[in-house]
Amino acid sequence: MKRTPNTTPEQHTSGNLSRRSLLANGLKVAAAGGLAPLIAGCHTAGSQDSPASLPSDDRLRIAAVGIGGMGQHYMAGCKSEHFVALCDLDHKFAGPVFDKYPGAARYHDFREMFAREAKNFDALIIATPDQTHAVILMAALQLGKHVYCAKPVAHTIGELRAVRQAFAGASNLVTLTSVQSAASDGACSTAELLDTGAIGPVRELHLWCDHPSYPCGLLRPAGEQAPPRGMDWDLWLGPAPYRPYNSAYHPWKWRAWWDFGAGTVGDMACHRLHIYFKQLRLGAPATIYANGSTLCDDTNKRIATPECQSQANIITWDYPARGELPPMQVTWYDGGMKPPRPAELDRTIALPRNGMMFVGEKGKLLAGSNGGKFPVGRGLSGGLLLPEKDFSDFPEPARTLPRVPDHYGEWTSACKTGGRTACPIEFGCEMSEVALLGALALRTGRLLEWDSATASVTNSPIANALISPPRRAGWSL
């Protein structure tokens, strides 16, 4: 059946049941505790006509969705646990990962996996492209599963608000966002150094990142290619607008496309923001504006690429005074861009490829990309204070914050004990929202005035329409 942009998912599914009926019926059955098989085929190892083999010890029983990309690394971090079921739409791409876990049942469709395996697993890893995070998260919530989710937690701000509210009411579930350096020694050391007040109230924060690590500045590809054998491209798209399959999107290359990802800022900002997000109260910027690099053809003609992130980008979030904290500006740089070099820095030292700089009223602090020591062999555990001569005798701050030496172990242990993690889904949603506002400013090319209380862009109907854009039929939250 030839697909058209207006074709609804109900007209094209991987089995005899529609996407809407399978998701609704499967979750109703799962919630009731009766997990009868809903679809035949599309899985191999493990018997789906009887419960998957259970560990005889106290290992956590885990299922995973989206294992071919970053999911394989999340799974490796939990390798001492028991993987019951694995799901990926592209079994060729994910084949080597499937082969590492021969005892796990294999699926193409997460909905089928949930319907068949819900009573056999305790926790879920989500590592699909951004556009399907929210719907899988909500399904996992209905099933009462602990969750580890890639960041950004969702693809739109409307989804983030819905997910955050839903999980805030599920205190029995243990969740973690994929911010691997959350509560690491380096991150905590930088937070503790800021807490000393050494540089005074922070007025500026500069974050720079050497990504993107994928093609950017592209036009939508023309024509239609055949997806990998056995891959349901319509299911991969999920709630996103219909686009014919093209290798410009999958595998690995989806993140720069606004229909599926949030660019480099969506990919990487949470890794930087978690260190000081609560200290500096960064949840509600007043304005956001951004600029991206320009693509030119061989005649020097400028080519607009409105559907795809540019290769190099600068984003600024302006914050008003927050209680006793003064107004502040946060600026993001990617694609090799960096902030102006601080005049106080030793001229023999180059700014590294990745890093952060806090500008206070009494000095500056340079730290590593995820917090910690500035990578020049000088300074304190939390970074390099400038001017160096003014801080030559400054002592290491007391270690007051709890460290998390094992990111993945923190989650699996908390799932077993009922503990909390350093970066649960709710916190991940807060940081993801700031990142997605930056992506929205890039995408629209407008200065955005943001009202956090109403979750609305007050000065741009175009941008505001993208807070909760239309979803394809069958993919409501």
| pLDDT higher than 90, residue 26 | no
Domains 18-181+407-425 and 185-220+230-391 share a fold: no
pLDDT of residue 46: 36
CATH of 18-181+407-425, one of 2.60.120.380, 3.40.50.720, 3.40.190.80, 1.10.3720.10: 3.40.50.720
User: What's the pLDDT band for 477 if we cut at 50, 70, 90?
Assistant: confident
For residue 451, the surrounding DSSP H or E stretch is strand 448-451
Per-position DSSP letters for 371-386, written without gaps between them: BSS-TTT-SBTTBEEE
For residue 263, the surrounding DSSP H or E stretch is helix 263-273
pLDDT of residue 15: 34
According to DSSP, residue 254 is labeled: G
pLDDT tens, residue by residue, 261-273: 999 999 999 999 9
* pTM of the shown model: 0.89
| pLDDT higher than 60, residue 50 | no
Instruction: Classify residue 306 as exposed, middle or buried by CB count within 10 Å of its CB (0-12, 13-18, 19+).
Output: exposed
Q: Are strands 302-303 and 202-208 parallel, antiparallel or unpaired?
A: unpaired
Q: Rounded CA gap, 169 and 165, in Å? A: 7
- Answer whether 394's CB lies under 8 Å from 197's CB: no
| CATH architecture of residue range(s) 185-220+230-391 | 2-Layer Sandwich (3.30)
| Mean of per-residue pLDDT scores for the chain | 90
pLDDT: is 35 or 352 the higher one? Answer: 352
Q: Angle, nearest 10°, between helix axes 19-32 and 133-143?
A: 30
Q: What are the boundaries of each domain within the chain?
A: 18-181+407-425, 185-220+230-391
pLDDT tens, residue by residue, 53-97: 445 579 999 999 999 999 999 999 999 999 999 999 999 999 999
Mean pLDDT of 145-173: 98
| pLDDT higher than 80, residue 222 | yes
Instruction: Classify residue 79 as exposed, middle or buried by CB count within 10 Å of its CB (0-12, 13-18, 19+).
Output: exposed
pLDDT of residue 376: 85
